[in-house]
Every structure is written in structure tokens, then in C-alpha cells.
Amino acid sequence: MSRIGYTLAILASSVLASACTDDATTPTNQPPEGSTSGNEETTFDHDNGDYISPWDLLDRLQKEGPPRYTSRVHSCAKVRYRTLGTVLTSMGVNAANATALSAGDLYKSGFNALGGPNYANRIRENISITTSGASREFDIFAAAADEIQTAFTAGTMTRCPGVQLFDSTGACNPQGITCLIGVPATPLHLDFCNYTVTHATDTTVGKRLAVADLLAAAYTCE
């Protein structure tokens, strides 16, 4: 027998052997038919009816623009370092205060954390919000809360002189919130402010937290 003949004979015997052993190795402990299948009560029901038609998608793209455009328009860049200093000053905060842990001190010492520019080394300002930058900004707003309240009370808030953030009973004033965050206050802003004040350990702490939280939300896109 030729070499090719031996090879074919070996392959044929292998196929026959595997065919003969299939029945012998088939497991007999299979679950009953249908016991592993699911239904609407045992599996997640995928609703395929909620879809957008190509014409609706085209209309939305024509009105809003492509994703690469809308992602930039609706994205949230951080407040630039110099702008943050201007914002603090406009709210009655002494940005040049050198007292340890004051808002001014945290602002000046947080130059690198806030992504300030290094023009000497040709490094532009970081325009993205980082964890360290957001944390330092939160600290600054918390430290500045008392100075901001003093400016409101004294009527020396340069961005809106005479407006009060809290009334005589300690309740939040919508006009004051608008002045603080720079956009018209909504009922949700007012509810959040009042809730923070009334649920703190005391009114003083509550007012401080309300100011810091509202500023943090306004200037970090929360």
C-alpha cells in the first residue's frame, strides 16, 4: 500500500472511531427541555419600540449640529485662574489675603493645582477640570463663604450692591442667589439653599455651606 493510502486509512479510522465514541460520551444528565429558557417574567424585556427614525435624526443634526460640534458647545471647561480671582474679588473676597487658609491664600498657593499658565516655560493654562483643581476650588469657596456673607450684609457686593443673600429670618433670598451664581435662581436653587441652612448643625454653619455649595455647583458645572 502506498504512503497516501496509509494516510487515508488512518484518517478514515479516526473519523469512524470518533463517530463510535460520540454516543458513548454523550452526557445523560441533561436538564429537561425548556427548563433553561427564559420568558418576559424571568429575563429583561428589551423594548425595541423606542427608536429614532432616520428623518428625525437628520432633523436633529440639522438643528443642533454634528456630535463633534455639540460636544464642544455643551462641554464645560474650568474657570480660568485669573477669571476665578476676578470672580472672588467681585464677591467681596480679598484675593490678596496672605492669612493662612484664607480664600486669598488658598487661591494664590493653588496656582498649580488650578492649572494656571506657565508662560516662562511656554505652557498654556489647563482648560480641563482636574481632581486637584476642583478640590482646591471647593476649598476656596468654603473659605470665602464668610467674606461673601459679610459683603452681602454690608451691601458692598460690587456685582450687585444692596442685594441680600439671606433675609432677617435666615431664609435664602432668590435675588441674592442670582447674584451669587450669576444666573437666574430657580425654585430648586432656593429649596436647596434653604434645606442646607435648616439642616446644618446650626444656622451659621448652614449659611456657610449653602454659599460654598452654590458656588461650587455654579463654577464646576455640577
pLDDT tens, position by position, 145-162: 999 999 998 888 888 888
- The closest alpha carbon to 180, from 203, 139, 208, belongs to 208
Domain extent, residue 203, equals 81-219
Q: Is 178 exposed, middle or buried (0-12, 13-18, 19+ CB in 10 A)?
A: middle
Position 214 in a domain: yes
* CA gap 205, 199 in Å, rounded: 10
pLDDT band at residue 168 using 50, 70 and 90 as cut-offs: confident
**Number of domains observed in the structure of the chain:** 1
Position 57 in a domain: no
pLDDT band at residue 197 using 50, 70 and 90 as cut-offs: very high
The residue ranking higher by pLDDT, 71 or 138, is 138
The region of weakest confidence among 65-79, 103-117, 192-206 is: 65-79
Residues in a beta bridge with 172: 166
Among the residues of the chain, which ranges form H helices? Answer: 3-25, 54-64, 67-73, 81-90, 103-109, 131-154, 174-181, 187-198, 203-219
Position 1 in a domain: no
Residues in a beta bridge with 197: none
* CA gap 81, 103 in Å, rounded: 14
Position 139 in a domain: yes
Position 72 in a domain: no
Position 63 in a domain: no
pLDDT tens, position by position, 19-75: 455 455 666 666 666 555 666 666 666 566 667 788 888 888 888 888 777 766 666
Position 117 in a domain: yes
- The greatest distance separating any two alpha carbons of the chain, rounded to the nearest whole angstrom, comes to 112
* CA gap 52, 57 in Å, rounded: 7
Q: Is the pLDDT of residue 205 over 90?
A: yes
